Structure 1
C-alpha cells in the first residue's frame, strides 16, 4: 500500500491514518537512497516525492527553505545562478547503487546526513540545517529551528533530525544555510606517493596557511580508473583543493607547491578539471555499478587511515581511496554473505579502538538485513537513541528497522 502526499496536510492525514490502522510507514522521496541502511520493515509506503518545491529563497540572507521532495539538481541549479552553493557538497550516490545520477532530493540529502570532500572545512548537512517542519509520530505537525543563521532559542532539533534517516518524523519543509560559491578553484596534485606518504602530505597541507579546503588520495589502481585524473597517468595521486578568488588561489597554490616541492612531482588542475575530479571523490564514482562488490566507508583518525585502508584492501583483494585528509576511507571489496563485516570491524577495533566507525554503503538487501550497515551502538548509547526516538515516535511507525534491527 502506498500513500502519495503532495503537501503537509496530506502527510499529516497519512500519518493519522497509519496510527489509526496500526500500520508502520516507509518514508521515501526520490528513492535514490533506498538501498542505504537496512531494508525498512514497514506495512506501507508514504511517498513524499510530491511534497516538492522551493518555499523561499533569500540569497542576500543566505537562506533556502524547500519541501523535502525537491530535486537536489533543481536546487543546485538555482543556487548556481545566484553564485551560491550548499557548502556541504552533497554527494550523488545514485550510480553507486545502480541508479541514474541526479535523482536525489533535499530531504534525502539532509536525512541521510552525508557530506562531501569539503566536510573537513565546511561541515556536513547537520551543520547547515537550520529548520525543520514535519509531522511526528503522534500525528502532530511541528516546527523546529527557524529561517535565520543565528538561532539560539530552544533545543537544536534540526541537527538531531538531520542524519536520522527518517526515523524521527516525516519532514514537510527543510531550511538550510547556503553560502557564496568560490569564484575560482584549483587542485595541486602530488604524483606517485605511497598511502603513508600521502597521509603526511595531506596533514602538512591542511595544517598550512594555504587554506586547503579538501584533501584526498587515490592509489594507483583507483587513479587509473578516473577520467578526470587521466592527465596524471598511471600513478597514485594526492589531491589538494584550494578555493577562493583567483589572485588568492594563485598565491596560495604557489606557496603550497613550494612547501611540498620535495614530496614529489606536481601537476596543477584548473577549475574545470578540479570540479570533475572532486565530484568523483564525493560520489565514490570509481565504485559505481559494481553489483557484485560491497562498499564500505570508514571514518577514522586521519593519521591511521592508510594503516586501515591498505591492510583491508590487501587482505581482502579490494580497492580503497582516502578522503577527508585520510579520515574517510572508501573501501570496495568482493561480495560476501556478511560483506566482510566481521573482519572490517575487527581491523577497525585493532587499530583505532573505539575512535572510528564503519558504514556499509552498498550490499545486497539480504546482506543489509542481517549485518548492521551502521556501526553497532554501545548499550548506553543505544538506550539513549531509543529514548530519543520514542519522544518523537512512540509507536515506531517511521522507517522501522532502517538504522538498527528492532528499532
Structure 2
C-alpha cells in the first residue's frame, strides 16, 4: 500500500502511477463498485493545519481523524454543524473515519435538514488531479472563497476527480441546550404531517426523524439558548397536540445517544443490504413506501421524510433494481429527481448492480467530461461510481 505523508509525496505517487489507483481515507466506508488498483491510503497525511475559533474556521489535512477534529472543536465550544455520519456501525467496518473521506463522500447527518450538507460548510480544498498536479480552490477563511466552485465539485466525487490533500471548513458554536420531542404511536401520513408542521414552523427544528415498527415514533430536535429551547418546545407541543402523546427528552446524554443512533443508522446494522433513498417527503411517504409494500419492513426516515434508509436480508439485487426504477418513475416520485444508492452490500452485490442512481444522459455526459478533464488517464478510483 502507498501511504504518502506529504502533499508532495502524494503528487509524485499519482503522477508516477502506471495503472489504476484505489484511493481511500480510513477505509471505514467501502461504498460504490469495488475498485481494482494499487491501494493509496491517505491516513498518514494527518493534522490540523490552522484553527481560528474566533473566525469559525478550521483547516486540516485530508487524513486527519474526524474524532480529533471534533475534540479540538469541543475544546472551544464549537462543532462540525453538518454532523457527519460514522459508517462503522452500519457497515461493520473498522478503521478511523477521516475528514477527507467525509468530504469525498459528502457525508452529512440529521442536522442537514436545517443547516445544509458537508459541502455547504467547505471553504476550500487542495487536491492532486489524475496528472499528479497539485490544485487548490477556495480559501481558508470565509471572505476568501473565490473562483470556480471546485470545492463543491470535489465534495461527493468519491476520489474520482482528485485526491484531497487539505480541506478548510466553516464551523459553528455548540448550542447551550438541546431537547427532543417524541411523538408516540404516530405512523404514515400523520408522521409526515408532524414532521412537516414542525420543520415549516418558525421554531427552528434541527432534526426530524421517524422510526416505524412496533414502537413508532416521530423525533424532533430543538437546539439553542436554554430559554429559547424551552419556549420552542412548549410551542411545538401545542402545535402537535392533536396527533397524540408527546414526551420530551431533556438530558444531554440521552439526546446525544439518540441522535448518534439516528445519524449512524444503528437500527439497520443487522440487515445484509441497506439503501439510502432521497426524495421529496411527500413522494417518499405517499408514493415510494406504499409501492414497496412488504419490502419496506425495515426503514428509518430522516430529514423530515426526505431521506429513507431501507434494509433487507434477501433478494437484494432484485430490490435494488426495483428501487431505482421507482425513484425514476414520475407516477411514484411526482417531485422528480431523487436517488437510491446502495450503501451496504457484499462485494458481489456491489459489483453486479449500478450502486448509484443512473444519471440522465445529459448529466452522465457532463460527469464523464469532468472526469476526462481532471483524470484523463482514468486512474482515480475507476468504475467506483459506475
Length, aligned pairs only: 382
Aligned to 1:25: 21
Aligned to 2:227: 247
Quick check: 2:64–2:99 contact (8 Å CA) kept in 1?
yes
Report deviation, 1:65.
Answer: 0.7
Give, in whole Å, the separation in 1 of the partners of 2:146 and 2:83. Answer: 28
State yes or no: 1:39 paired with 2:34: yes
Give, in whole Å, the separation in 1 of the partners of 2:200 and 2:249. Answer: 21
Matches within 5 A, 1:48-67: 48-67=42-61
Aligned to 1:269: 249
Quick check: 2:267–2:300 contact (8 Å CA) kept in 1?
no
Aligned to 1:10: 9
Quick check: 2:284–2:333 contact (8 Å CA) kept in 1?
no
Q: Find the residue that maps to 2:124 and give its secondary structure.
A: strand
Report deviation, 1:345.
Answer: 2.1
Give, in whole Å, the separation in 1 of the partners of 2:317 and 2:352. Answer: 8
Aligned to 2:143: 150
Report deviation, 1:316.
Answer: 2.2
Report deviation, 1:192.
Answer: 0.5
Report deviation, 1:337.
Answer: 5.4
Quick check: 2:62–2:101 contact (8 Å CA) kept in 1?
yes
Quick check: 2:222–2:233 contact (8 Å CA) kept in 1?
yes
Q: Find the residue that maps to 1:345 and give its secondary structure.
A: helix
Quick check: 1:313–1:331 contact (8 Å CA) kept in 2?
no
* More off after superposition, 303-312 vs 293-302: 303-312
TM-score normalised by the chain length of structure 1? 0.91
Q: In the alignment, which of 299, 302, 324 is matched to residue 320 of structure 1?
A: 299
TM-score normalised by the chain length of structure 2? 0.95
Quick check: 2:210–2:305 contact (8 Å CA) kept in 1?
yes
State yes or no: 1:287 paired with 2:268: yes
Q: Find the residue that maps to 1:10 and give its secondary structure.
A: helix
Report deviation, 1:153.
Answer: 2.2
Report deviation, 1:313.
Answer: 5.6
Report deviation, 1:335.
Answer: 2.8
Give, in whole Å, the separation in 2 of the partners of 1:40 and 1:336. Answer: 24
Matches within 5 A, 1:206-221: 206-221=199-214
Report deviation, 1:176.
Answer: 1.1
Q: Which runs of 4+ in 1 moved over 6 A?
A: none
Matches within 5 A, 1:212-231: 212-221=205-214
Aligned to 1:121: 114
Give, in whole Å, the separation in 2 of the partners of 1:186 and 1:249. Answer: 7
Give, in whole Å, the separation in 1 of the partners of 2:121 and 2:229. Answer: 25
Q: In the alignment, which of 318, 338, 343 is matched to residue 361 of structure 1?
A: 343
Provide closer, same or farther for how the CA distance between residues 31 and 200 of structure 1 changes in structure 2, counting only shifts above 3 A: same
User: Cα deviation per residue 1:133-181 (whole Å; 9 max; x = unaligned)?
Assistant: 1211121111111011134421011111011000011111111111111
Quick check: 2:184–2:244 contact (8 Å CA) kept in 1?
yes
Give, in whole Å, the separation in 1 of the partners of 2:171 and 2:210. Answer: 28
Q: What is the root-mean-square deviation in Å for CA atoms of aligned residues?
A: 1.5
